Amino acid sequence: MKKIALLLTTALFVSISVCQSQTAKQCIAQETEKCAGNYYAYPSPQKAQTPPPSGYTPFYLSHYGRHGSRYLINSVDVVEARDVLERAENEGKLTSVGKKVMQQLDVVAKAMDERDGELTPLGHQQHKEIAQRMCKNYPEIFGNSTTAIDARSTQVHRCILSMGTFCQELKVNNPSISITNNASQRDMYYMCKEEHNVHKRTDAEVAWQKAYEAFCDENSHPERLMGVLFKDKNYLPEKKAGKLSRQIFNVACDLQDMPGIDFSLFTLFNEQELYDYWQSQNAYWYGTAGLCTIQSGKECERAANLLRNILDSAEDAINNAKTPTATLRFGHDSGILPLLVLMNVANANVRVGDLHEIQNVWADFKLIPMAANLQLVFYRKGDNSKDVLVKALLNEEETTLPIKAYSGPYYRWSDVQDYYEDLLSHIRGVEGNKDKKINSTH
């Protein structure tokens, strides 16, 4: 059984390429939309999948997926930025570009009216297409008339709709498939566990916040944009200029998720400004995952119950399911990110101390775009064999687990299970399957 400390040590300071052989800066220069980070619209997979070893066929798929593209979580940035420009226009201070941006923000505000945080039409389309590819790639599971699927969602509207669209497409592909849907508070302890306890901030939390705020200030350069928007580049004081610039960037990030918007606000920024804003946003998510070495590194443990559910559901499918099956879970970036870090999928657990080094080893747009998903596909020889392999896909691309592979992207399930059971044994308060506990009393 592998030791957690040893494997985490091997991950420490590992330098990986976030876009194959490209740096993050090159990735963003090539595709500007990636600077949106967690607002990056889901990219379709590009690589062909590796065939399984001879004799192995898929029989079970375990999945956790983020909701699809959504509107900004609230319209504050849109409204406040528009209001600042409107006041400047009334004072005769806006340039022609500033007037155009004011009009564009008004279009966005109207499109978002009473839709804060809701799934956009693109979000529906993303989940429809992911389901289509799942059916195409694994007909042994999703084309089988006896397949039973357990689909669950958090209680948030955009996640429920993502689940509904996904499952509807599975039904279109195979009307005989059996699907059970749930969106219950009962499942929230593992679907997307949040910490609500009020506690005194630790020294590590204070140190991280201080370092992060300084990093954001370093990456904020609103001066040029102010000269583009206003006739007097000093129209706004420094802090308000920085806030307005960031708000416009935030709105720009979400436009790719809103079909029907036929303009971009990214054109207001130069390449370095976009990259610097992305660096700050990327550092935010890195800090949320607790990966900076000045932090405890335990923030990802809030996904422990989810990992427990994944292990238990897989064992149930292996030992008890008489036909192909799948477990589908629909949640949030705050659900899948700690899971990827806890499981060290695609080396997501790599830790550094210098915020300037994060972009060399870790990129949010690779991990948590809109509709981000982790799929674990299980294969075996024969109908009842315990000789099980598993393959992990991050956003439908074959990826790595922190375990020695059996062949290519395929791992022996027994090795995977041993590693993660050992990992969970070091985490306090992990809860097992509540439904299984209830059923065992009958």
Per-residue pLDDT tens for 217-268?
999 999 999 999 999 999 999 999 999 999 999 999 999 999 999 999 999 9
For the chain, give the mean pLDDT: 92
pLDDT of residue 199 exceeding 80:
no
**Which domains are assigned to the chain?**
4-70+118-198+291-439 (3.40.50.1240), 76-117+205-281 (no CATH)
Q: What is the DSSP string of 324-339?
A: -EEEEEEE-HHHHHHH
Task: State the pLDDT at residue 11.
Answer: 37
Task: State the pLDDT at residue 92.
Answer: 98
Contact criterion met (CB below 8 Å) for 312 and 62 = no
pLDDT tens track for 276-305? 999 999 999 999 999 999 998 899 999 999
Average pLDDT over residues 313-318: 96
Of the listed ranges 4-18, 141-155, 405-419, the least confidently predicted one is: 4-18
Contact criterion met (CB below 8 Å) for 140 and 59 = yes
Average pLDDT over residues 9-19: 40
Task: State the pLDDT at residue 200.
Answer: 56
pLDDT of residue 442 exceeding 90:
no
Task: State the pLDDT at residue 433.
Answer: 75
Contact criterion met (CB below 8 Å) for 311 and 417 = yes
Cα distance between residue 1 and residue 176, in whole Å: 42
pLDDT of residue 180 exceeding 80:
yes
Residue 309 one-letter amino acid = N
Lookup: tokens for 406: 């059996």
Of the listed ranges 208-212, 293-297, 310-314, 337-341, the least confidently predicted one is: 293-297
State the pLDDT confidence band at 432, using cuts at 50, 70 and 90.
Answer: confident
Cα distance between residue 191 and residue 331, in whole Å: 7
CA distances from 386 to 9, 56, 249, 316, 341 (A): 32, 12, 52, 12, 28
pLDDT tens track for 75-104? 999 999 999 999 999 999 999 999 999 999
Q: What is the pTM of this model?
A: 0.92
pLDDT tens track for 370-393? 999 999 999 999 876 789 999 999
Residues 6+ apart with CB under 8 A from 61: 134, 138, 141, 326, 327, 375, 376, 377, 378
pLDDT of residue 33 exceeding 70:
yes
Which residues are bridge partners to 329 per DSSP?
64, 152
Task: State the pLDDT at residue 76.
Answer: 97
Contact criterion met (CB below 8 Å) for 346 and 27 = no
User: What is the three-state SS of 41-98?
Assistant: CCCCCCCCCCCCCCCCEEEEEEEEEECCCECCCCCHHHHHHHHHHHHHHHCCCECHHH
> In terms of DSSP H, where are the helices of 184-323?
188-191, 203-218, 223-229, 238-254, 271-288, 304-320
Task: State the pLDDT at residue 43.
Answer: 96
> In terms of DSSP H, where are the helices of 289-321?
304-320
State the pLDDT confidence band at 411, using cuts at 50, 70 and 90.
Answer: very high
